[in-house]
Every structure is written in structure tokens, then in C-alpha cells.
């Protein structure tokens, strides 16, 4: 039924000032690791508080009660300690470089581009930022010892090689060297220049003092696998600086800081270029406006106040990274450690790519909402390839960490192009992508698998650059290859489009039709022993339960390999029955490998299940509280999933503009597209308890497909949805209503019906049974999973999770054939003959329909090969 009027969302008045709706405190506890401080879109500076128990990328734990400093750089939930460079702490009294400031949340506030806290020591700190500079307003009590302590060694990974210099009576500058993301070898140097609106009375340096820092409680992603890095204890010596003011007459000290990764001179120039005056409120207003410029490209109306806050905070978090890395004069330090200048026709060079995470939906959202900045980001990736010979994998500033697996730059670049960020050298990008995918590189360890054995062996030795989790890595390479194919197609390069689309299908080597799961396979071709789909062996941050669905470009092919829609639905029902688990048989919707799963019901005729599960995830994982985000935010990836889901769509297929449909959360959404056209989504009955699509129309014409119209992201238009509280199981359920899937040729095995030369009969497992000794019979062809057979390269013929088997390894005429657990015996070996016979080599006999029977349920046998129709079978050819 439709939602009752009292349950419907409020009138669809579009939010006009979304920056004021943003709550940066969402995601600042548990493992999300977001930060609440001040920043501009994609800004170089994120001036934000750090607290004692959160040394990783976000730096801030909501449940802490003291602040260790306000540092200039942060990342949203990277999963390992990162950034937190140049913490500055206001204090009073004697100089103590290990000091912390107590506070309560009652005296704290934040919105997009602004942060404020009243500390228990009587100091009020207000922060705002431009792209490359920050501005602070410190209100001290009346004292002659109002201090700002520069904890130069206090970065998240223990900054070293610090420098400090005093310029006149109201300016300081310096640098810190940091890096080593997730324990990697990458380093960078950050330079700063800070000026004050009044002179300091004293200044100096002091030996660093640190207190014990609790390790992060985040669920950490990464290198072999990614592990936390405990911040280094500061080296003895005058590593930290301080300045002291007399605030007995004027309690307010304002500060402006410029940041650069090139030089202190550039840091000062950035500050001067972006904030030449002393008007804190004007900077705050301008940054607020810059956020509204982007956030207003997706206007929503209706929903609850909390839902609007969650939505716009998620959109805000999605647009924090990657970060501007070049200075106002265009200079930046490249991946070759040389000084470069931003390419002509582009505004900035960008850094910080959480590749394994963001290709799934953050890249697409970034292109859709900020096509200009995202085009510059894409060009930055191309420049990185030219400087270092590789695209970023998990790059921090100008250093590669090699964290995580796969080759995610392929998906990211193709996603950017598909979603409207096209102002970059796409032809060069494609050529570089092909080169990286074809030759030995640090980004794709194990690339020799392409020739032999055709998959990443679970017992293989690939001694380069973070190879682990063979099955996960294989699946990641497959998605990367498909993305190359998609971009090649968009650029009319049909040769590479075909080559990489075909190569993307290598997932079939690691799919075991017998078990119905992705499994590790040895170099010799046998399935790795001791398989348990709930185990993380051969997988990265997940299990086979979670990864088996990760063929986002060919769900139809995966469904066929599993035995048809019923088998795929059974798998989805099982894995999504609970979605909070980090292991076992449950999906983990707080981590990337499971993000695709809820949308896959769209591909098997049950989009109402997608609508149901996605709404449950929204309600149970996402809230407007500090803990209202599950898992690391991963530089906006988790937040971008929420944004798309609330709009009622998701970019399931990497490198394309295909959108699988869910149901809108808001009664109206208006999206300004990169083309300048507008996509309007109207769902007047939208309500939290009404997730089910009853009907839909596109520009006034009925729409009965589980995917968005092709023109939705280019020409725009109006998509109207009627929603209700009960599932409409028929909407978009037809066989042609599924979103596109992309198969290829050269498949490692063929899947389909095995038909008899006797008209109308197919080989069938009786009653769709899966138990050992279930009879294999002839039956009228019906396209069910019981008749979906896989011709596997090891010589077996498999269906319903078992093998075609001669009972008791019989060799005599008339030995019955059954469905049995695959065991590698000769009774399960079959060879297709040129005359259509299926020969069992162990017995020398052929698969036979007794007496050429035409009756349903006749159990087949082996019999002396005789070339009759009873022994002539058409096996799958695709």
C-alpha cells in the first residue's frame, strides 16, 4: 500500500543553505575517523582538533575530553595514522610542549568551513580556512602568558626533521617531514608560515614532551594487511616552538597560516594570495559560500531534519579529498621529487588517493558534483604517471605507499570520464592505463598470471609491492580491466575495448561452480584445500561470502555461473541476512567489498529486495550522531555510498554511467549535471517506512526497468517514483529490466543447458537436488538452475554445486549417472567428442539416455559409445 499522508515526508522545500546543515561531528567516533575542523572543498588545509586516543587520519575521538593540538592537515578515515601535521595548542602559564587542553562538547560547534571550541582553561578557539590557508581567532583570558605551542614533532606518525624560524615580531615559519603511511617508505615535507595581528612578547623553542597515545581502535585497512603505526616519540632536542602574547589589554589574537609542500616562501605567498586581510568572519562566509556552491548541485527536499543532516554531511565528506597540492603560483613537488608547475588549462594539482576505496562511488560522485575540480584531479593522475611511471594506488601527497590491492586508478579515471569530468587528456590516460596493465609494474604484482595459469594462484610467489589475497587481487584486476575497456569504448578504441573486456572475465577461473563461491586455486589448477567461505584466506578485508558477488560489470555472467537467478537470489539472501559482520557469512556494509551486494537484486528480478535492504542499511548504520557512520570513511567512500543510496541509485558498474536503482529517500532531489542540465527526482510519497517502488516514469512515460535511463546523467529530465510500504514484486522484475551486464569471449568455461538430440529434452538434476546421489535425468528444457551446467577446464561438468558422476565409479553398460560432490575422481571426467558424445575416459563409455527415452525423469547412464541420438548432446557454447 502507499504511505499514508501522515507518514509522507514534509513538503519538498529544497534545502537552500546546505552548508549550515552539515554536521562535521558525524563520524568522529567508533572507527569512521572523520574530523570536525575547518576546511574548504578539496582543501590543502584542514585545521582541526586532535585528541589523545586518536592518532590516525581524522585525529579526533568524540569521546575524549581533551585536545592535544589543532593541526593543519587531516584525512577522513584513511585507516592508518596520517597527516596531523603542525599541531598548535593555545595555553596559558608556563611552556609545556606536552600539554593538553580539557573541553566539553557543550562548548563546541562546527559546520562546513568553521570550528569553535571553548576550552576549560578559558581560551576560545575558532578556526576557518581557505584552500591553502587557515585563519584562527584565539580569545584568551587576561594574562601576560598567552601561549601558542607549535608541536612540530606531534604529527600522526611523528614528524621529524623539523625547522623553526622567527621573522620579526609577529611571524613564524618552519617545516616538518612526515609520511610513512601504513608503515610505508613514502615521505613528504610540509612548510608553513604564520602571521599574527599583534606582536608576541616572547618566543623560543622547547624540547618536545609527549604523553602516551592509545593506539587507534579503527578497523584498519591495508598493507599486508594495513596495520596501525604508533606515533614515534619525539627526539630529544629543541624540536618544538612557541610564541607568547600579552592579552591583558586585547584578549583576541588572530592568526593566519599558509601551507605549502614546496617552500616557506610559497606558504607565505599562499596565505597572502588567499587571505590578505584580517577579517575572520569574511573568510568564514566565503568558505561557507564555496561549500554551498558544490553542495547545492544536489538539492534535496523533504525527509526529516536528521536525514537532511546525514545526507549533506555525507556529501560534504565526499568532497574533502583528493586535496589541492599545488601552490597559488602553480608550483608543486612531483612524484619525482622535482618542482613542477600545474598544466596549462588546469587550476591545480591534486594529491591523496585512497584508490581501493574511492573508485566504487566517491569518484563518480566527485565527477558528478564537481566536474571542474575532478577533471584537474584526473590530469594530476596522468602527470603522476609521467613523473613516476605509475598511477597512484594509495598515494599520500607526492609519495606512493602501495597500500591495498588491485589497480584502482583505472576505475577512477574511467569513472571520472563516465560521470562528466572529461576535461583531461583522456587519450593519454588510456594509453598509460593500457601500458600499466600489460607490462610488469609495481602497481600490478603478479601480472605474469595472464599467460599462465590465467589467474593469480593462491600458492604463487609475487615478491613485489603488496601482493596478497590472491582471489581479491584477481577480482580487483578484473574490475580494473573492465574499466579500461569502458574508457576505450568511450574513446572509440574498439581493439582495447574488446581486449580488456574479454580479459575482465578471468574471474571465472576463481569461481568454483561446485561450491558456488570464489575460491583460491593453486598454480597446478586444483582448488586450494580447506576452503571455508567464511574465512579470509586468499581475501583482503573480507571473505568469499562477501567477495563472491564482486563481479560488478557482469552480474548476469556470475548469476549464470552460479546456476541461475534462484541460486543468485539464495546467495544474496544469505549474505545480506545480516550486514554488520566483518566476517562469517554476513555482508559488512561498513567496508568496501560488500558495498555492491544490496544492488545485485536488481539484476535477478527482485529490485524490491534492493529497496528493502538499502533502507535497512540507511536506518541501522547511518545516524546524525558522532557514531553514525560504520567503518572507516576512507576519504569519503562510505559517505558517497550513502549519498547515492539516498538519491535512489548506485554506480554498480565501474567505468560506466550505469546506475542500478533503489528508491529515493527524499520527496524531491534536483541535481545540476556537468552538462548544465538538470535531473529531477520526484518521490512525493517518500517516507522512511515506504521504501518500495510501486511505479515509476521517465519524462512522463512509464519506466519499468531497474536501472536509470541512459540520458539521465547527460540530458537530464524528470524521474518520478511512487513509493509505498508494501513491496511491488512485479515492478522492474522482467528479464529485460535488469541493469546492463558485460560479458566477453574467451571464457575459461562455458555455462548453459546440455540439450539432447532427442527434441525438447535437457540434462537435469532431479528436483533441483544438491544432495549426493541425486539422479541426473532427462527432462523437458525449462532454463532452471537444475539444467544450468558448467563445462569446467578440469574436465568436470558441474551444476547445483556438484559434479556429473558415474555411480560407484562404474564402468559397465547401464551404470547410472548422478549428481555428487566434486572429488577429482575419474568417474567425474568427461570429454566432448566431435560427434556430440560425452565420453567418460575412465570407463570408455558415453553418456546415454536409456533406450532413447523421451519420458521426463529418465535417469541417464553410461553405455558403449554408438553414435545414436541417445548419446548426442549439445553442450554450452558460450
- What CATH number is attached to the domain comprising 792? 2.80.10.50
Whether 636 is covered by a domain: the verdict is: yes
Do 478 and 339 fall into the same domain?
A: yes
Do 340 and 286 fall into the same domain?
A: no
Between the alpha carbon of residue 395 and those of residues 334, 375, 381, 390, 762, the distances in Å are 12, 18, 10, 11, 54
Whether 863 is covered by a domain: the verdict is: yes
Distance CA 499, CA 482 (A): 9
Do 360 and 500 fall into the same domain?
A: yes
Closest CA to 807 of 818, 821, 823: 818
Do 551 and 613 fall into the same domain?
A: yes
Distance CA 547, CA 524 (A): 23
From 227, 259, 294, give the residue that closes a domain.
294
**Bridge partners, residue 717, by sequence:** 679
Whether 643 is covered by a domain: the verdict is: yes
Q: Is 836 left (phi over 0), alpha (psi -120 to 50) or beta?
A: left
Do 232 and 128 fall into the same domain?
A: yes
* DSSP β-ladder status, 717-724 and 678-682: parallel
Whether 312 is covered by a domain: the verdict is: no
From 294, 326, 345, give the residue that closes a domain.
294
Q: 420 and 365 in contact (C-beta within 8 Å)? A: no
pLDDT recorded at residue 192? 98
Whether 732 is covered by a domain: the verdict is: no
Locus of grid cell 527526482: 681
Burial status of residue 809 (CB atoms within 10 A of its CB: 0-12, 13-18, 19 or more): middle
Do 508 and 544 fall into the same domain?
A: yes
Do 696 and 610 fall into the same domain?
A: yes
* C-alpha cell, 490: 568511450
Between the alpha carbon of residue 678 and those of residues 361, 368, 675, the distances in Å are 20, 12, 8
pLDDT recorded at residue 839? 97
Number of compact structural domains in the chain: 3
Helix (H) or strand (E) holding 363: helix 362-369
Q: How many residues does the chain have?
A: 878
Whether 469 is covered by a domain: the verdict is: yes
Do 652 and 563 fall into the same domain?
A: yes
pLDDT recorded at residue 212? 36
- SS3 annotation, 261-296: CCCHHHHHHHHHHHCCCCCHHHHHHHHHHHHHHHHC
From 261, 294, 327, give the residue that closes a domain.
294
E strands in 699-856 = 701-702, 717-724, 750-752, 755-756, 761-765, 774-780, 789-791, 797-799, 802-806, 817-820, 831-832, 838-840, 845-848
Closest CA to 391 of 436, 324, 338, 448: 436
Domain that includes residue 512, residue range: 318-724
Whether 742 is covered by a domain: the verdict is: no
Per run of 10 residues, the mean pLDDT along the chain (length 878 residues) is 37 90 95 95 98 89 97 95 96 95 98 98 98 98 98 90 93 96 93 98 82 38 39 48 97 98 98 98 98 98 97 98 98 98 98 97 98 98 96 96 95 98 98 88 79 78 76 96 98 95 93 92 84 95 97 97 95 94 88 97 98 97 93 96 98 98 98 98 97 98 97 96 98 97 78 92 92 96 85 80 91 96 90 96 97 97 97 89
CA 116 to chain CA centroid, Å, is 31
Do 400 and 285 fall into the same domain?
A: no
Do 166 and 246 fall into the same domain?
A: yes
Do 233 and 348 fall into the same domain?
A: no
Give the CATH number, domain containing residue 221. 2.70.98.10
For residue 402, report the phi and psi dihedrals to the nearest 5 degrees.
65, 20
Give the CATH number, domain containing residue 417. 3.30.2080.10
Q: What 8-state DSSP symbol labels residue 435?
A: H
Whether 654 is covered by a domain: the verdict is: yes
Do 387 and 284 fall into the same domain?
A: no
Amino acid at each position: 500500500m502507499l504511505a499514508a499522508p501522515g507518514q509522507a515526508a514534509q513538503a519538498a522545500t529544497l534545502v537552500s543553505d546546505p552548508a549550515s546543515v552539515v554536521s562535521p561531528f558525524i563520524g568522529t567516533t567508533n572507527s569512521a575517523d572523520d574530523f570536525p575542523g575547518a576546511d574548504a572543498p578539496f582543501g590543502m588545509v584542514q585545521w582541526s582538533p586532535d585528541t589523545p586516543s586518536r592518532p590516525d587520519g581524522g585525529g579526533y575521538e568524540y569521546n575524549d575530553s581533551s585536545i592535544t593540538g589543532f593541526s593543519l592537515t587531516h584525512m577522513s578515515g584513511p585507516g592508518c595514522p596520517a597527516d596531523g601535521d603542525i599541531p598548535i595548542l593555545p595555553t596559558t602559564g608556563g611552556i609545556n610542549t606536552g600539554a593538553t587542553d580539557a573541553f566539553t562538547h557543550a562548548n563546541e560547534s562546527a559546520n562546513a568551513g568553521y570550528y569553535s571550541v571553548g576550552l576549560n582553561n578559558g581560551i576560545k578557539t575558532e578556526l576557518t580556512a581557505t584552500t591553502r590557508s587557515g585563519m584562527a581567532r584565539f580569545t584568551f583570558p587576561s594574562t601576560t602568558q598567552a601561549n601558542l605551542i607549535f608541536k612540530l614533532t606531534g604529527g600522526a606518525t611523528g614528524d621529524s626533521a623539523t625547522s623553526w624560524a622567527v621573522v620579526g615580531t609577529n611571524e613564524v615559519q618552519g617545516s616538518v617531514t612526515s609520511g610513512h603511511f601504513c608503515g610505508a617508505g613514502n615521505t613528504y615535507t610540509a612548510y608553513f608560515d604564520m602571521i599574527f595581528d599583534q606582536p608576541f612578547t616572547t618566543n623560543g623553542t622547547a624540547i618536545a614532551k609527549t604523553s602516551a597515545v592509545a593506539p587507534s581502535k579503527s578497523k584498519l585497512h591495508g598493507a599486508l594487511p594495513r596495520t596501525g603505526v604508533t606515533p614515534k616519540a619525539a627526539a630529544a632536542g629543541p624540536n618544538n616552538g612557541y610564541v607568547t602574547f600579552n592579552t591583558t589589554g586585547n584578549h583576541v589574537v588572530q592568526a593566519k597560516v599558509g601551507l605549502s609542500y614546496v617552500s616557506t616562501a610559497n606558504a607565505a605567498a599562499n596565505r597572502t594570495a588567499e587571505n590578505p586581510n584580517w577579517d575572520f568572519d569574511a573568510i568564514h562566509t566565503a568558505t561557507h559560500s564555496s561549500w554551498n556552491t558544490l553542495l547545492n548541485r544536489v538539492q534535496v527536499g523533504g525527509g526529516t531534519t536528521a536525514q537532511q543532516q546525514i545526507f549533506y554531511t555525507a556529501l560534504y565528506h565526499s568532497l574533502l579529498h583528493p586535496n589541492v597540492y599545488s601552490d597559488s603560483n602553480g608550483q608543486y613537488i612531483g612524484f619525482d621529487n622535482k618542482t613542477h608547475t600545474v598544466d596549462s588549462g588546469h587550476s591545480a594539482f591534486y594529491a591523496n588517493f585512497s584508490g581501493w576505496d574511492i573508485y566504487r562511488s566517491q569518484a563518480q560522485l566527485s565527477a558528478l558534483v564537481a566536474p571542474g575540480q575532478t577533471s584537474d584531479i584526473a590530469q594530476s593522475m596522468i602527470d603522476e604517471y609521467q613523473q613516476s611511471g605509475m598511477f597512484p594506488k594509495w598515494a599520500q601527497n607526492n609519495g606512493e605507499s602501495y597500500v591495498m590491492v588491485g589497480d584502482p586508478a583505472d576505475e577512477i579515471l574511467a569513472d571520472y570520464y563516465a560521470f562528466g569530468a572529461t576535461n583531461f587528456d583522456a587519450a593519454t590516460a588510456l594509453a598509460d592505463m593500457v601500458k600499466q596493465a600489460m607490462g610488469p609494474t609495481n602497481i600490478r604484482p603478479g601480472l605474469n598470471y595472464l599467460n599462465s595459469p590465467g589467474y593469480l594462484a593462491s600458492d604463487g610467489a609475487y615478491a613485489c609491492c603488496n601482493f596478497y589475497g590472491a582471489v581479491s587481487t584477481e577480482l580487483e584486476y578484473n574490475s580494473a580491466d573492465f574499466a579500461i575497456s569502458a574508457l576505450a569504448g568511450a574513446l572509440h578504441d574498439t581493439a582495447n575495448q574488446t581486449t580488456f573486456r574479454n580479459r575482465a572475465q578471468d574471474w571465472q577461473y576463481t569461481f568454483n561452480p561446485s561450491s558456488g563461491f570464489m575460491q583460491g586455486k593453486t598454480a597446478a589448477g586444483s582448488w586450494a584445500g580447506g576452503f571455508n567461505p567464511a574465512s579470509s584466506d586468499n581475501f583482503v578485508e573480507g571473505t568469499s561470502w562477501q567477495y563472491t558477488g564482486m563481479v560488478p560489470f557482469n552480474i548476469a555472467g556470475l548469476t549464470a555461473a552460479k546456476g541461475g537467478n534462484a541460486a543468485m537470489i539464495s546467495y544474496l539472501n544469505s549474505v545480506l541476512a545480516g550486514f554488520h559482520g566483518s566476517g562469517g557469512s554476513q555482508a559488512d556494509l561498513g567496508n568496501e567489498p560488500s558495498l555492491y551486494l544490496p544492488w545485485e537484486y536488481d539484476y535477478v528480478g527482485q529490485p524490491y529486495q534492493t529497496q528493502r535492504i538499502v533502507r535497512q542499511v540507511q536506518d541501522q548504520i547511518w545516524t546524525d550522531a558522532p557514531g553514525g557512520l560504520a567503518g572507516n570513511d576512507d576519504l569519503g567512500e562510505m559517505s558517497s555510498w550513502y549519498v547515492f543510496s539516498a538519491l535512489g541509485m548506485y554506480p554498480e558498474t565501474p567505468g560506466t554511467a550505469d546506475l542500478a536503482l533503489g528508491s529515493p529517500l527524499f520527496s524531491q532531489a534536483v541535481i545540476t549535471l556537468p552538462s548544465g542540465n538538470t535531473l529531477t527526482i520526484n518521490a512525493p510519497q517518500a517516507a522512511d517506512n515506504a521504501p518500495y517502488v510501486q511505479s515509476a516514469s521517465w519524462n512522463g512515460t512509464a519506466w519499468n526497468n531497474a536501472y536509470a535511463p541512459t540520458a539521465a546523467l547527460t540530458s537530464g529530465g524528470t524521474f518520478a517514483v511512487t513509493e509505498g510500504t508494501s513491496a511491488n514484486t512485479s515492478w522492474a522484475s522482467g528479464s529485460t529490466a535488469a541493469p546492463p551486464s558485460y560479458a566477453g569471449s574467451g571464457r575459461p568455461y562455458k555455462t548453459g543447458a546440455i540439450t539432447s538430440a532427442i527434441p525438447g529434452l535437457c540434462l537435469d538434476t532431479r528436483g533441483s537436488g544438491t544432495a549426493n546421489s541425486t539422479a541426473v535425468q532427462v527432462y523437458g528444457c525449462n532454463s532452471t538452475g537444475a539444467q544450468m551446467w558448467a563445462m569446467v577446464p578440469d574436465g568436470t561438468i558441474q551444476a547445483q554445486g556438484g559434479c556429473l558422476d558415474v555411480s560407484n565409479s562404474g564402468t559397465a553398460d547401464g551404470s547410472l549417472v548422478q549428481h555428487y560432490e566434486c572429488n577429482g575422481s575419474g568417474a567425474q571426467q568427461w570429454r566432448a567428442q566431435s560427434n556430440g558424445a560425452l565420453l567418460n575416459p575412465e570407463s570408455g563409455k558415453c553418456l546415454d539416455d536409456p533406450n532413447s527415452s523421451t519420458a521426463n525423469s529418465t535417469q541417464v547412464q553410461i553405455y558403449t559409445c554408438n553414435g545414436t541420438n541417445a548419446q548426442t548432446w549439445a553442450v554450452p557454447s558460450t
